Amino acid sequence: MKERPPPGPPKEAIKIDDITVEIPISYKKGMQVPARVIAHPDLMAAMDSGVFNQITNVATLPGIVKYAYCMPDGHWGYGFPIGGVAAFDIEKGGVISPGGIGFDINCGMRLITTNLTADEVKPKIKELVDTLYKKVPAGVGCKGFVKLTKEEFKEVMIHGAQWCVKNGYAWEEDINKIEDNGKIPQADPAFVSDKAVSRGFNQIGTLGSGNHYLEIQEVKEGNIFDTEAAKAMGITGPGQIVIMVHCGSRGMGHQVGTDYLRQFLEIMPKYGIEILDRELACAPFNSPEGQAYYKAMACAANMAFVNRQVITHRIREVFSEIFGKTAREMDMQLVYDVSHNIAKLEKHIVDGKEKTLLVHRKGSTRAFGPGRFEDLPEEYKKTGQPVIVGGSMETGSYLLAGTDGSDETFASTAHGSGRTMSRSQAKREVKGDELQKDMEKRGIYVHAVSTRVLAEESGKSYKDIELVVDSLEAAGITRRVVALKPIGNVKG
C-alpha cells in the first residue's frame, strides 16, 4: 500500500513570503499556472498533503489564469480543496466545474445585528435557542414551513431573495445587503431536473446538517478592531448581541451538482478535455453543457439566498415573541450575506487588461475592497465589503472587511476556520454529551439534533481562527473588524 505523504507543502514549493508558498508548473504535468497556498507557517506545516495535490490538479484545468489559490482554511475537498479559488478566461476555453463550486451550492453566511445587550439576552438564552430550534428545522431531510407547489418554486429559483420581499419574508432594505442583491440573473429552471426540484421545494427555511448553524453571539470588550468599519456595519460597542446564520441550498444544490457531474464526465472527450481527477469533471463555460449547468447552479444559488432570508424572518419572529418588541424596535438589520460555494462572472485585471472571468470559490468568500465601490452598498463603499468568517461553536467567529489587496486573489478570502480532523475522528475523540455540559458551564448553550453532531463540530475539529485571520491580514486581502463570541447555538 502506498504510504500517504506527510502534511505540509511538497519540497518543490517555493516560499514567496512569510505566509505564501508557490508550487511551480514544473511540479506536475499539465499545470497551466502555478498554485499558491496562503497560510500562517503553523497552518501550512499541518495542512494535509491532499490539499497541495488537489490545488495543483486545479492548476491543470483549461482556461485557468494567473494562479490556482488555496486559502488558510484549506483542507481536503471534492475535486477542489475547501478554500480553493480559481478563475477561468471564458473567451479562451475556460471551464466550469461542479467540483470547484461544491455540492451545497451557495452555502453561505449572514449576520444580523440587534440593539439588545448581553445582559438582556443571557437570562433568556435557553428559551431563545430552544424556540429557534423549533422554528428553524435542522438536520438531514428536514422540511420548512413555507408551503409551495413545484410550479411556485420556479419563482424562487428565478428571483431569489427578491421573491421574499413580495411574499413578506424580507424587508426591502435586506436585498441591498445580499451579494448580487440575492439574485443570480442567469437562473433558468428549465435546466434543473425534477429530482433536484423535489429535493428543494419543501426545504426553504431549514438549516440542514453538518457544520450549518444559527448562532447568537456577543461583541466582547476589546474585540472591536476597526471602529469606523464596525459602526458602518451596525456594531456599536461591547455587549451588543448579533446573530449569525450558516446554511445553503440543501438537497437541491446537491442534486444539481450530481446531475451535471455525471453529464460532464460523459461529454469531456467531445471537447478534448483530460483531467487528473474525475472529481474535476468540467465543461467549457461557453458550451451548451457549461451554460446549462451555470443556469441550474444559479437556480440553486437563488434558492439558498431565499433559504437564509426565510430563516432571518423566523429569527426576527422569535426575538419579537420572546422580548415583546418588534424586529424593527430591536434594530434587527442584515449586515451582509456572503456566498462561499459558487462560480461568478466578474471583471478582473489579468496581465494589465480587464477581463471577464468565471471565478470559482469553493469554501472561500468574495472580498471586494473600497476600489470596487460600484458593486457595494452605500454604507460599505469606504470600508470595503463585510466578510463573515465562521469559526467553531466553541471559539467564535469574525466580521472582516474586504481590501483592495484582495484583487491579487480574484477578490477572494477564506470562509471559515477549516477542519483539522475528519468527522469520524472527531466522534472517536470527543464525547458530545460531555462537550455540551462543558460548553454550558462556559456560558454557551447549544441545542443540536444529536450529541454526535456536537462531537463532529467540537472546537478541536477546527483550525485556530486567530491564525486563519492573521494569515488573511498578512496577505493583505481582508482585515479584522470585530471578533464575535458565541453564547447560544442551534446545530444541524
pLDDT at 262 over 70: yes
What is the number of domains present in the chain?
1
Work out the angle at residue 243's Cα, subtended by the Cα atoms of residues 241 and 249, and round it to the nearest 5 degrees: 175
- What's the helix, strand, coil split of the chain in %, to 5? 40, 25, 35
pLDDT of res. 5: 78
Q: What is the pLDDT of residues 273-322, one digit of tens each?
A: 999 999 999 999 999 999 999 999 999 999 999 999 999 999 999 999 99
Residue 161 one-letter amino acid: A
pLDDT at 139 over 50: yes
Q: What percent of the chain has pLDDT over 90?
A: 93
pLDDT at 2 over 70: no
Q: What is the pTM of this model?
A: 0.97
Q: How far apart are CA 183 and CA 181, in angstroms?
A: 6
pLDDT band of 4, cuts 50, 70, 90? low
Neighbours of 100 (CB within 10 A): 29
440 found inside a domain:
no
Provide the CATH number for the domain around residue 81: 3.90.1860.10
Question: Is 264:278 a contact under the CB 8 Å cutoff?
Answer: no
Locus of grid cell 421573491: 163
Q: What is the β-pairing status of strands 213-218 and 68-75? A: unpaired
159 is catalytic: no
Q: How far apart are CA 234 and CA 111, in angstroms?
A: 10
Question: Average pLDDT, stretch 425-450?
Answer: 93
Average pLDDT for the chain? 96
pLDDT at 437 over 80: yes
Q: How far apart are CA 112 and CA 335, in angstroms?
A: 6
206 found inside a domain:
yes
pLDDT of res. 492: 80
Dihedral angle of Cα 412, 489, 104, 4, to the nearest 10 degrees: 80
Q: Which domain holds residue 205?
A: 14-420+462-491
pLDDT at 1 over 60: no
pLDDT of res. 3: 59
Question: Is 183:157 a contact under the CB 8 Å cutoff?
Answer: no
454 found inside a domain:
no
Question: Average pLDDT, stretch 243-249?
Answer: 97
The single residue of 254, 340, 360, 415 carrying the catalytic annotation is 415
pLDDT band of 141, cuts 50, 70, 90? confident
439 found inside a domain:
no
What would the grid cell of residue 2 be?
Answer: 502506498
Question: Average pLDDT, stretch 183-187?
Answer: 97
Locus of grid cell 408551503: 147
Point out which residues pair with 414 in neighbouring strands: 364
Q: How far apart are CA 488 and CA 88, in angstroms?
A: 41
Q: What is the pLDDT of residues 387-426, one digit of tens each?
A: 999 999 999 999 999 999 999 999 999 999 999 888 889 8
What would the grid cell of residue 22 be?
Answer: 508557490
447 found inside a domain:
no
Q: What is the pLDDT of residues 195-231, one digit of tens each?
A: 999 999 999 999 988 889 999 999 999 999 999 999 9
